[in-house]
Amino acid sequence: MAEPTDRPTSRGPIDFTVETLGPCTVDSPLAPRLQARRTTHHYIDETDRVLFDDTLSKVTRRAAKTNGELEELPSLEPTGPRKKIFFDPSKTRVGIVTCGGLCPGINNVIRGLVSELTTHYGVRRIYGFKNGYQGFIPRYGHDVVDLTPESVSGIDGEGGTILGTSRGQQDATEVVDCLERMGIGVLFVIGGDGTMRGAQKIAAEIKARDLKIAVVGIPKTIDNDIPFIDQSFGFQSAFSEASRSIRSAKVEARTAPNGVSVVKLMGRHSGFIACYAALAQNDADFVLIPEVPFTLEGPGGFLERLREKVATQGHALVVAAEGAGQELFEDNGLQDASGNKKLQDVGILLRQAIADDFAQRGIELNMRYIDPSYVIRSVPANPYDAVYCIRLAHAAVHAAMAGRTNMVVGRWRRRFVHIPIGLAVSARNQVDPHGDLWWSVLEATGQPWSFGEFSAEQVTAFGGQ
Ligand code: F6P
């Protein structure tokens, strides 16, 4: 499938250096099996690097700046097992925590971590911290659970997370106090951007105390808004589920006179779910995303285009990301526990505006409003995401055992790589209104580039908000 990273995230020199806890002096239990491996098109040696840029023009431009020194080109460290590692696995205690909103595949990651740590590295103690970062804080009184290959067997068939989750960071000093008390050497954090900011603070506190505790993240979000990775796990399962709502909405719209269906999908600041679901179930006539502002009223506005579509086709189907059209509201200044802006309900706004518009003109309307909401993120991972999750989990274990810290694992241009957390939280991956993905949506729907009087420059400027 096409890569869902659409917007170039690099602006200027990028430091891809991954922190390490110290030299790797312990023989990896995997070392004997690694002897037979040879570098091929599909396998990069641990000393090699993955290029950040993938077009000739970008590489040429960068190479000109580095006087042709190819080693200076921006590049990322590949994941994978190292022959020498930092931790002695038999004496290393590991913690796993899952934070933020749900996402398909979290249990797959947990199981992948536990089985790789135990089966291949011989780690004996793995603790699951319950309910996100709260799990580290004594006053919440949450249990800690022992994770073993037996206890995680079969969990990957279920959505959600066996560890529970919560939004919001906790005081990093209290978290690190807990890690010290429990003698944890490696902490795996599964979460979105807010969670990774929390992990960054924990890693900083660990460093300030001069402790040898690795913090490795596995980025999770159905919104697919984490930069420097092709795609976040669970995204494909979520948009696949969302496409089922679009299919139903189409049936409803076309079987009623002047049927108009509106499907509202998650996607706070990035419209990837809306775009991919609409392309997967190629029935939408309009896709509205946060990155492309629109007007409702007036010539070329959304309502005029909708009326035209209903007049010519007899029905219409609108897919709106929840973050679309926020420019149509007064800012309420509210935030959730993760520090995310609380969005206003564009679905309800559209439903009302369409109903009023048709009523004012005396046009018959059969409106269907579908908001699958949490349904799309609580499903189990589909086979594609399941594969992705287990590979991310393996990569995270190899990284942590080799003493890498303050980093996340991800896939960049189809190669698995280590990314400093600082970079993973430095920006937001968004649909590029001038990029290939939005172009595909415009081709599939036939809708104009935007509704209303927005210039290309205004949309570009807006897209970065
Ligand atoms: O962060 C991912 C996400 O799925 C957003 O698209 C959505 O706005 C949000 O979670 C809702 O989650 P919650 O209700 O748990 O805050």
pLDDT digits (tens, 9 = 90+) for 85-132: 999 999 999 999 999 999 999 999 999 999 999 999 999 999 999 999
Distance 266 CA to ligand 1 centre (A): 7
Residue 211, pLDDT > 50, answer yes
**Which residue of 340, 343, 371, 429 sits with most ligand 1 atoms within 8 Å of its CB, as the best mutation to test the pocket?**
340
Question: For residue 14, what pLDDT is reported?
Answer: 87
Three-class SS state of 330: coil
**Residue 80 Cβ < 6 Å to ligand 1:** no
C-alpha span between 83 and 80 (Å, rounded): 10
Phi (first) and psi of residue 12, to 5 degrees: 95, -175
Active site residue 223: yes
Return the sign of the alpha-carbon dihedral for residues 195, 200, 201, 205.
positive
Please check whether residue 5 is in contact with residue 230, taking contact to mean a CB–CB distance below 8 angstroms. Answer: yes
Q: What is the mean pLDDT of residues 144-158?
A: 97
C-alpha span between 313 and 135 (Å, rounded): 54
C-alpha span between 97 and 208 (Å, rounded): 22
Cβ neighbours, 10 Å, residue 68: 8
**Residue 371 Cβ < 6 Å to ligand 1:** no
Q: Could you report the per-residue pLDDT of 321-334, keeping only the tens digit for each?
A: 999 999 999 888 88
Three-class SS state of 287: strand
C-alpha span between 18 and 421 (Å, rounded): 9
Q: Sheet of 144-146: strands edge to edge?
A: 50-51, 75-78, 415-420, 407-412, 214-219, 184-191, 93-98, 125-129, 144-146
**Residue 166 Cβ < 6 Å to ligand 1:** no
C-alpha span between 160 and 289 (Å, rounded): 26
Calculate the average pLDDT of the chain: 93
Active-site residue among 156, 223, 357, 371? Answer: 223
215 membership: H or E segment, kind and range: strand 214-219
Q: Beta strand pairing status for 125-129 and 144-146?
A: antiparallel
Nearest-atom number in ligand 1 for the CA of 377 is 4
Distance from the Cα of residue 346 to its chain's centroid? 22
- Interior angle at CA 406, CA 122 and CA 69, nearest 5: 110
C-alpha span between 399 and 230 (Å, rounded): 19
**Residue 134 Cβ < 6 Å to ligand 1:** no
Query: Which residue is closest in CA terms to ligand 1's atom 15?
Result: 101
Distance 465 CA to ligand 1 centre (A): 18
Q: Could you report the per-residue pLDDT of 29-87, keeping only the tens digit for each?
A: 999 988 888 778 777 888 899 999 999 999 998 888 888 888 889 999 999 999 999 99
Nearest-atom number in ligand 1 for the CA of 221 is 2
C-alpha span between 176 and 267 (Å, rounded): 33
C-alpha span between 337 and 167 (Å, rounded): 6
Distance 335 CA to ligand 1 centre (A): 12
Distance 267 CA to ligand 1 centre (A): 8
Residue 79: burial class (beta carbons within 10 Å; 0-12, 13-18, 19+): buried
Choose the weakest-confidence range: 122-131, 375-384, 415-424, 443-452: 443-452
C-alpha span between 399 and 82 (Å, rounded): 8
**Residue 101 Cβ < 6 Å to ligand 1:** yes
Residue 431, pLDDT > 70, answer yes
Distance 293 CA to ligand 1 centre (A): 21
Residues 6+ apart with CB under 8 A from 164: 98, 130, 131, 132, 142
Q: What is the mean pLDDT of residues 150-167?
A: 97
Please check whether residue 27 is in contact with residue 402, taking contact to mean a CB–CB distance below 8 angstroms. Answer: no
Q: Could you report the per-residue pLDDT of 406-420, keeping only the tens digit for each?
A: 999 999 999 999 999
Pick the more confident residue, 147 or 449. Answer: 147
What b-and-e string marks burial along 216-252, b requiring 16 or more CB atoms within 10 Å of the CB? Answer: bbbbbbbbbbbbbbbbbbbbbbbbbbbbbbbeebbeb
Residue 453, pLDDT > 90, answer no
Residue 147 pLDDT grade (very low, low, confident, very high; cuts 50, 70, 90): very high
Amino acid at 461: A
Residue 6 pLDDT grade (very low, low, confident, very high; cuts 50, 70, 90): very low
Could you write out the DSSP letters of every residue in 112-175? Answer: HHHHIIIIIT---EEEEESSGGGGG-GGG---EEE--TTTTTTGGGSSS-TT----S---HHHH
**Residue 250 Cβ < 6 Å to ligand 1:** no
Cβ neighbours, 10 Å, residue 288: 25
Amino acid at 299: P
**Which residue of 103, 266, 272, 344 sits with most ligand 1 atoms within 8 Å of its CB, as the best mutation to test the pocket?**
266
C-alpha span between 242 and 228 (Å, rounded): 25
- Model pTM greater than 0.85? yes
What b-and-e string marks burial along 436-451, b requiring 16 or more CB atoms within 10 Å of the CB? Answer: ebbebbbebbebeebb
**Which residue of 99, 131, 268 sits with most ligand 1 atoms within 8 Å of its CB, as the best mutation to test the pocket?**
268
Kindly compute the dihedral angle of the four CA atoms of residues 410, 416, 421, 427, in this order, to the nearest 10 degrees.
Answer: -60
Please check whether residue 310 is in contact with residue 343, taking contact to mean a CB–CB distance below 8 angstroms. Answer: no
Return the sign of the alpha-carbon dihedral for residues 27, 24, 184, 168.
negative
C-alpha span between 292 and 441 (Å, rounded): 12
Tokens of 378: 């609580």
Question: For residue 460, what pLDDT is reported?
Answer: 65
Q: Could you report the per-residue pLDDT of 386-407, keeping only the tens digit for each?
A: 999 999 999 999 999 999 999 9
Query: Which residue is closest in CA terms to ligand 1's atom 11?
Result: 101
190: nearest Cα among 431, 417, 410:
410
